[in-house]
């Protein structure tokens, strides 16, 4: 049975799916861990036929499953649905557009099996890079949002907005009821609910450029997140004063 359930949320990623599956397969094979993983692709009825492309591959690959949701949208809820549809002791999330380096996966699993509770692929540690963010504005917003999140939520990671992480199943599941479906801050929402004693480790991630297509998270989503964080930060500072 797989030890890692890798969940990949996808929306209009038909052109990226074949390379995604091949890349993950090759990474685990190279590490001598060919049977360690399963992949659950969660698609929200993409008009470009992503689910059909994924299904065609799944028909010849027992390590791949596809969930196609109708009438629903949302990165966070897609991720959680993938977690809840699987049963390996460890779960991971990765983007389906080629921006996340799948070669890190075997190491992330190894770190969990050696005692870590969660492993974050971070763009903001030595050896990592956020250069793959589409433009300078996004890079600046991301860096600012990250700093604020770390302060406001007092989380123990340098990259709380990373969409690439692996974690022990129970820690992910206990956040299920609290996740905001439409949000994209899956990791933040999970880390806000884990015990203080949680052992979190980081591996450097060089965030790549998208293979095909374009980002689904527009600048509006990021500005909204920033406003939300600013309000939280303001509240926290007020509380400190009293």
Interface positions with ligand GDD (CB under 6 A): 9-11, 13, 42-44, 73-75, 78, 95-97, 99, 133, 142, 161, 163, 184, 215-217
Instruction: Name the residue nearer to Mn ion (CB basis): 76 or 99.
Output: 99
Q: Closest distance between Mn ion and the C-beta of residue 12, in Å?
A: 11
Instruction: Name the residue nearer to ligand GDD (CB basis): 31 or 125.
Output: 125
Instruction: Name the residue nearer to Mn ion (CB basis): 14 or 194.
Output: 14
Instruction: Name the residue nearer to ligand GDD (CB basis): 171 or 188.
Output: 188
Q: Round to whole Å and give the CA distance between 33 and 66.
A: 22
Tokens of 236: 């926290």
Q: Round to whole Å and give the CA distance between 174 and 233.
A: 25
Residues in contact with Mn ion, shown as a per-residue x/- string from 143 to 182 under the rule CB under 5 A: ----------------------------------------
Q: Closest distance between Mn ion and the C-beta of residue 134, in Å?
A: 8
Q: Count residues contacting Mn ion (CB under 5 A)?
A: 3
Quick one: what does residue 122 bind among ligand GDD, Mn ion, none, with the CB cut-off 5 to 8 Å set by partner type? none
Instruction: Name the residue nearer to ligand GDD (CB basis): 89 or 132.
Output: 132
Q: Round to whole Å and give the CA distance between 188 and 207.
A: 18
Q: Round to whole Å and give the CA distance between 204 and 188.
A: 18
Q: Closest distance between Mn ion and the C-beta of residue 100, in Å?
A: 8
By CB atoms closer than 10 A (0-12, 13-18, 19+), residue 19 is: middle
Instruction: Name the residue nearer to ligand GDD (CB basis): 90 or 184.
Output: 184
Q: Closest distance between ligand GDD and the C-beta of residue 123, in Å?
A: 8
- Closest residue to bound ligand GDD by CB: 163
Q: Closest distance between ligand GDD and the C-beta of residue 10, in Å?
A: 4
Q: Closest distance between ligand GDD and the C-beta of residue 138, in Å?
A: 7
Quick one: what does residue 235 bind among ligand GDD, Mn ion, none, with the CB cut-off 5 to 8 Å set by partner type? none
77-136 residues in contact with Mn ion (CB under 5 A) are 95, 97, 99
């Amino acid at each position: 049975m797989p030890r890692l359930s890798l969940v990949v949320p996808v929306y209009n990623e038909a052109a990226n799916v074949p390379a995604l599956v091949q890349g993950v397969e090759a990474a685990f094979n190279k590490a001598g861990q060919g049977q360690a993983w399963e992949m659950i692709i969660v698609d929200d009825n993409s008009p470009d036929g992503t689910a059909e492309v994924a299904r065609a591959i799944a028909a010849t690959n027992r390590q791949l499953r596809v969930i196609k949701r109708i009438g629903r949208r949302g990165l966070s809820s897609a991720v959680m649905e993938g977690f809840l549809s699987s049963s390996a002791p460890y779960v991971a999330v990765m983007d389906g557009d080629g921006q996340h380096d799948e070669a890190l996966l075997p190491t992330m699993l190894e770190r969990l099996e050696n005692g870590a509770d969660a492993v974050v692929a971070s763009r903001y540690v030595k050896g990592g890079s956020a250069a793959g963010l589409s433009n300078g504005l996004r890079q600046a917003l991301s860096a600012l949002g990250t700093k604020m999140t770390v302060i406001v939520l007092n989380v123990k990671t340098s990259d709380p907005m990373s969409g690439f992480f692996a974690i022990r199943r129970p820690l992910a599941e206990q956040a299920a009821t609290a996740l905001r479906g439409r949000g994209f801050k899956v990791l933040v929402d999970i880390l806000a609910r884990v015990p203080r004693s949680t052992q979190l480790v980081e591996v450097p991630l060089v965030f790549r450029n998208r293979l095909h297509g374009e980002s689904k998270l527009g600048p509006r989503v990021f500005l909204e997140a920033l406003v939300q964080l600013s309000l939280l930060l303001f509240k926290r500072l007020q509380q400190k004063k009293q």
